Amino acid sequence: MLFSRFWYLLLTVIATLCAAAALLGQGIINDRYDDSLTEALRRDRAALDVQLALDARSRIDRLAFVSVDGTFGSLLQQAVSISNDDKKLPALSAQVKTAMESHVKKLTEAGHGAPDIAMAVDNNGRIMAQLGPFAGNSPGSSVATYPLIRRVLQGYVRDDVWVYDRKIYRMAARPVMSGRDYAGVIAHGYLIDASLAQQLSENLQGASVAFFYGPQMIAGHTPTSEAAPPQEELSSGLAAALQVPELTSEGRTGLLTVGTSNRAMYSLLPGGAASAKVGYAIARTANGYTSLDNACCASTTCRTSNLAYSGLRI
């Protein structure tokens, strides 16, 4: 009788130790997996930032032939001496718009695609012609206070992200020359849309990408060829991400849980749009996590199954 009780006690101790080992092992594995996933998403974020920077550089370079067009520069230079109430302004604006439409057509024919918005600005910061939103407005509206325009008027090439007409544009701009003088600015922009999110997501191989504007998701892509968090999870995690202090102070969050157990990082885009909380989210699946139901003890032999975690392809 006493001997039987001893064995019961021994089996209880062994079972307790087995359960503790399984819990400890699962915790170590989950911690290691979290570390790997954090590192993977940091690399994703760095790679995405590089892709966006290269895209901006490409859009700036596309405008090079426009900035040295002497005829275009001469038209913008004439605008400086014409006031908004001068009857000559509409006719000059029409000429600038015709020239700009010709340049946009060349961009399209070169395979770059037509920009969603384009504008020619004189040295006073006034819009002399515009394609896209508000194209029908009278010429003379000022964008001189926009940081992008202000810097380009000083002779720099720049890119930025604009919230314009309640939409988000990736803007690029160059100064327009007339001889050796700066005559104004040529700027164009492309919408942040699903095609951009798809391109970035495919380059990251297995990560979901989404862009947000404040509390709303505006575009996103989830790869279908491999497991990745759905857009609904990135959207549901956005409200919590916007409350993270680091997003405001540093422009990015650390690792956050979205959905049941998937992981994501949220970042603000650089430039003026950051103040409007325009940014992107990157997420990867946490398929390495396993349930503790898979850890078991049978008889006097303790065995743990399915505790291995799958690696990330990064």
The DSSP string of 95-119 is: HHHHHHHHHHHHHHHTTS---SEEE
pLDDT tier at 310, thresholds 50, 70, 90: very low
* 63-191 and 28-54+194-286 share a CATH fold: yes
Q: Is the pLDDT of residue 31 over 80?
A: no
Mean of all residue pLDDT scores within the chain = 83
Of 314, 306, 259, residue with least CA distance to 285: 259
Q: What is the Cα–Cα distance from 206 to 52, expressed in whole angstroms?
A: 18
Domain ranges of the chain: 28-54+194-286, 63-191
- pLDDT tens, residue by residue, 102-148: 999 999 898 888 999 999 999 999 999 999 988 777 778 899 999 99
Residue 294: its pLDDT value, please? 33
Compute the distance between CA of residue 204 and CA of residue 175 in angstroms, rounded to an integer: 34
Q: Any idea how long the chain is?
A: 314
Per-residue pLDDT at 304 exceeds 80: no
Tell me which CATH code domain 63-191 carries. 3.30.450.20
Tell me, what's the pLDDT at 135?
A: 79
Q: Is the pLDDT of residue 314 over 90?
A: no
Burial 226-248 (b: 16+ CB within 10 A, else e): eebbbbebbbebbeebbeeeebe
Domain 28-54+194-286 has CATH 3.30.450: yes
Structure tokens at 113: 């695609």
| pLDDT per position as a tens digit, 10-28 | 566 566 656 555 555 554 4
Cβ–Cβ contacts within 10 Å for residue 131, how many? 18
If you count DSSP H runs as helices and E runs as strands, how many of each does the chain have, helices first?
9, 12
pTM of the model as a whole: 0.78
pLDDT in tens, 68-98: 999 999 999 999 889 888 889 999 999 999 9
pLDDT tens digits for 183-206? 999 999 999 999 999 999 999 988
More confident residue, 217 or 133: 217
